[in-house]
Amino acid sequence: MTATALDPFSLMLDFRSGALSPHTSRTERHLSDMKGSYYADEAALGQLVQSGDPLVYEVLQYDVPEEVGQLICCTTVLHPGTVGDEYFMTKGHFHSVRDTGEVYLGLSGHGYLLLMTEEGGRSASPMGPGTVAYVPPYWAHRTVNTGDEPFVFFAVYPGQAGHDYGTIEESGFAQRVLRTPEGPVLR
Ligand code: PAN
Ligand code: ZN
């Protein structure tokens, strides 16, 4: 036995708000945390940061030991908004341990799950309440809120996965999701 033995536990998840109780960590990402290659329109980003630096998303998590055998549960609340014509999004990451997958469950609101591999693979899946999306090992993942209300989803991933943000921060993602008069468009 290598994984820490834990007592069983259960959590309460509010499908509407994404509230996870109890949770042991809460991470906030404001627009000022997303300088770099995230949003294409740097001028729009600078203006929004100056005029209030909005909260883009928050992650509520129940922490367990970060080791093989454990599963980490969390919810993400991704707020509605745009930077220029680009919808609010998460930073996106590869798992540091590349051969670890993840499952996302859409709870409320609507968006996209963008996926890409280091070999040039790309994918974009619409997500809404009830969507179960499988993130296979080796695929970087980012979510985008294309609606007017918070896009909320639940996720479960392996304890040892870890998060590699640097690769995306430097090189960006394969696709962007833009707001147009005809609705969201992938570029
Ligand atoms: C998710 C993400 C969460 C926030 O729980 O961590 O949606 O996105 P970023 O981590 O890219 O900022 C997950 O995929 N965990 O592995
Ligand atoms: Zn992940």
| CATH value at residue 72 | 2.60.120.10
How far away, in angstroms, is 26 Cα from ligand 1 center? Answer: 12
**34 phi and psi angles, rounded to 5 deg:** -120, 40
Average pLDDT score over residue span 63-90:
98
- Does 76 have pLDDT greater than 80? yes
Residue 131 CA to residue 115 CA, distance in Å, equals: 15
Ligand 1 atom with least separation from CA of 74: 5
Residue 164 pLDDT level (bands cut at 50, 70, 90) = very high
Average pLDDT score over residue span 30-44:
94
**Mind listing the pLDDT tens digit for each residue in 99-121?**
999 999 999 999 999 999 999 99
Q: How many domains does the chain have?
A: 1
Report the pLDDT value the prediction gives residue 33, as an integer from 0 to 100: 97
The reply to whether 4 falls in a domain is: no
The reply to whether 5 falls in a domain is: no
The reply to whether 1 falls in a domain is: no
The reply to whether 85 falls in a domain is: yes
Q: Which amino acid is at 163?
A: H
Residue 54 pLDDT level (bands cut at 50, 70, 90) = very high
**49 phi and psi angles, rounded to 5 deg:** -65, -40
Q: Which amino acid is at 172?
A: G
The range of the structural domain enclosing residue 70 comes to 13-186
The reply to whether 17 falls in a domain is: yes
Among 55, 61, 93, 104, say which to mutate for ligand 1: greatest number of ligand atoms within 8 Å of CB: 93
| 90: three-class secondary structure by DSSP | coil
Residue 51 CA to residue 33 CA, distance in Å, equals: 15
How far away, in angstroms, is 93 Cα from ligand 2 center? Answer: 6
Report the pLDDT value the prediction gives residue 74, as an integer from 0 to 100: 98
pTM, rounded to two decimals: 0.97
Report the pLDDT value the prediction gives residue 90, as an integer from 0 to 100: 98
Report the pLDDT value the prediction gives residue 1, as an integer from 0 to 100: 66
The reply to whether 8 falls in a domain is: no
Question: What average pLDDT does the structure give for the chain?
Answer: 97
Contact call for residues 154 and 75 (beta carbons, < 8 A)? yes
The reply to whether 135 falls in a domain is: yes
Ligand 1 atom with least separation from CA of 93: 11
Tell which residue, 94, 51, 59, 86, has the closest CA to residue 75.
59
Whether residue 90 has its Cβ less than 6 Å from ligand 1: yes
The reply to whether 3 falls in a domain is: no
